[in-house]
Amino acid sequence: MRDDGWEYDTSKFGPDPTYADLYDGPYGPSDSVLGVADDPLALLFYFLPPKLWAQIAVESNTYHCQSIPQRAQTLRS
């Protein structure tokens, strides 16, 4: 805002929210993700690795088994 000539209105928004120790280093995609950026499936597995998918399957199966009595009761009533 200050670059465009606008001033921060402390009466409306309180004290100026400047934060100490904000990250000011390089940013953008890492080299490791750029290596798979052209392949959508590789990109999916980069962010959701197969180990996570296996754990999701285990938890989904656990939930299914735990909910069988309740679903059966609903069908019987």
Judge if pTM exceeds 0.85: no
Distance between alpha carbon 33 and the CA centroid of its chain, in Å? 16
* In contact, 16 and 10? CB cutoff 8 Å: yes
* In contact, 41 and 31? CB cutoff 8 Å: no
* In contact, 17 and 23? CB cutoff 8 Å: no
* In contact, 52 and 39? CB cutoff 8 Å: no
For the chain, the structural domain boundaries read 49-77
Interval 23-72: pLDDT, tens: 888 999 999 999 999 999 999 989 999 999 999 999 999 999 999 999 99
